[in-house]
Amino acid sequence: MPIRSWSMLCALVLVAQIFTLNALPFELVEPWDKLWHFLAYSALTLLLWIGTDGRRPVLVVAAVMLLGGADELRQAWLPARSADPLDFLADLCAAVATAACLSFFSRGKPSCAASSQR
């Protein structure tokens, strides 16, 4: 299985974990929950970036933003949980910062061996 397929599969597993673990009736102590949000959504952005071969950065960031928003809306409906706009902000910052770093560091590099100038 190619790496792009593996990264998409791992992204799917991460999304399932985000939605499953957030259903638990406990929350991490502030400000550590924001750090975990940032790390999880940054990893998700990285996996989707690899899965799309870096060709759809706006779509990757939009997908991660939508997932973060859907997660917070879902938490608003759970009896033991509450939605937090700062959690969504941490998700958004993770997606944008990770995509910006990946875009900056992959600029000018060929995406595969077939497109190299050798």
Residue with tokens 């799917």: 12
- Residue 118 is predicted with a pLDDT of 45
The number of folded domains in the chain is 1
The pair of three-digit structure tokens given for residue 87, joined into one six-digit string: 């959690």
pTM over 0.85: no
Chain segment 23-63, per-residue pLDDT in tens: 555 566 777 889 989 999 999 999 999 999 999 999 999 99
Residue 73 within any structural domain of the chain: yes
Percent residues over pLDDT 70 in the chain:
83
Q: Which residue range forms the structural domain that includes residue 57?
A: 3-22+30-104
- What average pLDDT does the structure give for the chain? 86
Task: Note whether residue 81 is domain-resident.
Answer: yes
Classified as helix, coil or strand, 31 is: coil
Assign 102 a pLDDT band (cuts: 50, 70, 90).
very high
Residue at 18 is within a domain:
yes
Give the pLDDT confidence score for residue 100 in this predicted structure: 96
Determine, yes or no, domain membership for 10. yes
